[in-house]
Amino acid sequence: MNAPQAMSRERGGWIMFMLMALLLLAAGIGLRDPWPSDEPRFTLAAKQMVESGDWLFPHRGRELYSDKPPMLMWMEAAAYKATGEWRIAFLLPSLFAALLTLGLTYDLGRRLWNRRAGTLAALAVLFAFQFMYQMKRAQIDPLVTGWITLANWGLLVHFLRGPNWRAFWIGCFAAGLGVITKGVGVLAFLMFVPYLIARLRGWEGVTRTEQSGWRWLLGLVAFLVPVLAWGLSVLAVARAKATPEYASYVNDLFFHQTAGRVTGSWSHPQPFWYFVPIVLFNWFPLSLLYIGAAPRWKRDLQAGEPRVLLPLLWSAIVVVLFSIPVGKRDVYVMPVLPMLALAMAPYLEELMAERWLRLTAFLLALIGGCIILGAGVWATFGHFPQAEAFVQRRELGELGLALWTMIIAIGAGFIAFALAFGARRGLHGLYGGLAVLWLAWSFCSYPLLNDSNSARGVMERARAIAGRDAEIGLVGWKEQNLLMAQGPTRDFGFLAPRPQQYVEATQWQAQVPAQRWVFIIAPAMGECVDRKKAQRVGVANRREWWMFRSDAVIAKCVPPPSDDDDNAPDDGSPG
């Protein structure tokens, strides 16, 4: 095969890969609503942006929402403007970020090594468990991963295949977009550390730019453009409004939520070694290659190979930095995944051909499939107490059988692909089983679990109880309740203490008792509601919800604080 034919074949393979990635990542879009913990919060803020016309200050109900910058919310709102359907719009930013990350990983592998290396690196990223799971969710971290990967792309193209100042400036601008997405876009600039090390050691293959000070400064300008455009606008409008609410928003967003996280953390406490199992297990099956890649990394670093040093050392620095604070979440290190795959890119074809890896992947697919299939069969016949408890807790009823059928199908898919490809092509079988897993999860579990996870079902029942025209006041609500609410709705603050919400809601209800209902989380009622006159709406997100009219209110009674239910995870995860 001559060079043009080989290039055409590799290009065709890349197109097929991207189509496969689009199928796997987009599967299920439109079949579910936002699921906790974070998805309803951002979609609610985006929805209120569209409805109010205020795109600069996100709201959660009647309160300003200052936990995160607004980039994701802007993109969801823009996607809704383009599609007119929230079920589709809220997942499009993550889909965009996923395809962007894969495309950039491929392009870097192609530029630094060859097309085959780029394709295999992108394939390893796509099938890494954390990547597929998170990129199919509407959280901020997928978008942050996309921007940081774009920033790293610009820096690496300039540092290793430059000088390419246009790519460098694009990378700096993307880092700024990362800042107004979550604040961590500056992590990309840590790529300067391995770059300077390689330059000081005189390694070949590193771009050397002399007398280019103004071009470097333009990179700083490109970084600051989106940051200042947004930040100064917020400060100017907040100052013009001159209310305590907006002053508190600025203080919380710029100092507590962003700058404060640099010097300390106050949530998700974890040990220093927390990310070790994340890198080992959440990045499976890429993590199977660590053993084979390690000696090759050592060899190439000793030989002064900057194409390995820069992405590999950057990855190590980011993981160590995130390990220092007490607060940690698994998604924090997700931007490392594309760079780690890129550092493995020159070895992937060789590693994937090794007999031990093919046999290991075959056994994992076969044995894992048997375990999954067995668990599904065991649950189907009622011999799995945890499965029964799950069905009861989610109030799935007969839908539980469909869920276990899906589990059986996933297990059978792993077994079928493992046997079809055999031990000689074990990695193909493992990838095939993982594809079945994600397709089945997307097309089957989304509609099965949506009512329970999204609160759509409980809010539809609430509207049926109240009637079409009645107003419903929310107490102790979660973002998914307001997002999924139908008809006239009123909230009494999200962060306000529940007793305060209850008092305000019952006073509001008493003004027009015939037309107003209160929708409330069970513990927030205390002993202040006569449950014989109230109506139980149902369970959603592991919480029990009730409704009552004014005749159920016990006069002069204020319920005590009830935060015990907040200890239950609000992530929509099975369990």
Looking at the fold, whether 317 and 174 belong to one and the same domain comes out as: yes
Q: Is a pLDDT exceeding 80 seen at residue 538? A: yes
Question: In the chain, what percentage of residues exceed pLDDT 90?
Answer: 76
Domain boundary among 319, 350, 381: 350
Is residue 386 domain-resident? yes
Domain boundary among 295, 323, 350: 350
Q: For 171-205, how does the pLDDT look when each residue is reduced to its tens digit (9 = 90+)?
A: 999 999 999 999 899 999 999 999 999 999 999 99
Looking at the fold, whether 183 and 205 belong to one and the same domain comes out as: yes
Q: For 291-309, how does the pLDDT look when each residue is reduced to its tens digit (9 = 90+)?
A: 999 999 999 999 999 999 9
Looking at the fold, whether 460 and 363 belong to one and the same domain comes out as: no
Is residue 183 domain-resident? yes
Instruction: Report d(CA 351, CA 53) in Å as an integer.
Output: 53
Q: For 463-498, how does the pLDDT look when each residue is reduced to its tens digit (9 = 90+)?
A: 999 998 999 999 999 999 999 999 999 999 999 999
Residue 443: which domain range? 355-451
Domain boundary among 387, 422, 451: 451
Is residue 137 domain-resident? yes
The position carrying tokens 């936990």 is: 67
Q: For 28-46, how does the pLDDT look when each residue is reduced to its tens digit (9 = 90+)?
A: 999 999 998 899 999 999 9
Q: Is a pLDDT exceeding 50 seen at residue 394? A: yes
The position carrying tokens 């606008």 is: 233
Say what the pLDDT of residue 306 is: 96
Going by their DSSP bridges, the two strands 489-491 and 516-521 should be labelled as unpaired
Determine the Cα angle at 232 with ends 228 and 237, to 5°.
155
Looking at the fold, whether 289 and 217 belong to one and the same domain comes out as: yes
Angle between helices 140-161 and 165-179 (to 10 degrees): 160
CB count within 10 Å of CB 560 equals 11
Question: In the chain, what percentage of residues exceed pLDDT 70?
Answer: 94
Looking at the fold, whether 438 and 503 belong to one and the same domain comes out as: no
Say what the pLDDT of residue 342 is: 97
Looking at the fold, whether 330 and 399 belong to one and the same domain comes out as: no
Q: For 549-572, how does the pLDDT look when each residue is reduced to its tens digit (9 = 90+)?
A: 999 999 989 999 875 544 444 544
Is residue 572 domain-resident? no
Looking at the fold, whether 409 and 501 belong to one and the same domain comes out as: no
**Predicted confidence band of residue 258 (pLDDT cuts 50, 70, 90):** low
Q: Is a pLDDT exceeding 60 seen at residue 130? A: yes
Is residue 34 domain-resident? no
Looking at the fold, whether 314 and 265 belong to one and the same domain comes out as: yes
Please count the structural domains in the chain.
3
Going by their DSSP bridges, the two strands 59-60 and 471-475 should be labelled as unpaired
Q: For 424-472, how does the pLDDT look when each residue is reduced to its tens digit (9 = 90+)?
A: 999 999 999 999 999 999 999 999 999 888 889 999 999 999 998 999 9
Looking at the fold, whether 346 and 378 belong to one and the same domain comes out as: no
Looking at the fold, whether 406 and 498 belong to one and the same domain comes out as: no
Hey, is 547 helix, strand or coil? strand
Is residue 147 domain-resident? yes
C-alpha dihedral (365, 366, 367, 368), degrees to nearest 10:
40
Hey, is 466 helix, strand or coil? helix
Looking at the fold, whether 408 and 345 belong to one and the same domain comes out as: no
Say what the pLDDT of residue 568 is: 42
Instruction: Report d(CA 539, CA 458) in Å as an integer.
Output: 7
Say what the pLDDT of residue 565 is: 46
Looking at the fold, whether 340 and 429 belong to one and the same domain comes out as: no
Is residue 82 domain-resident? no
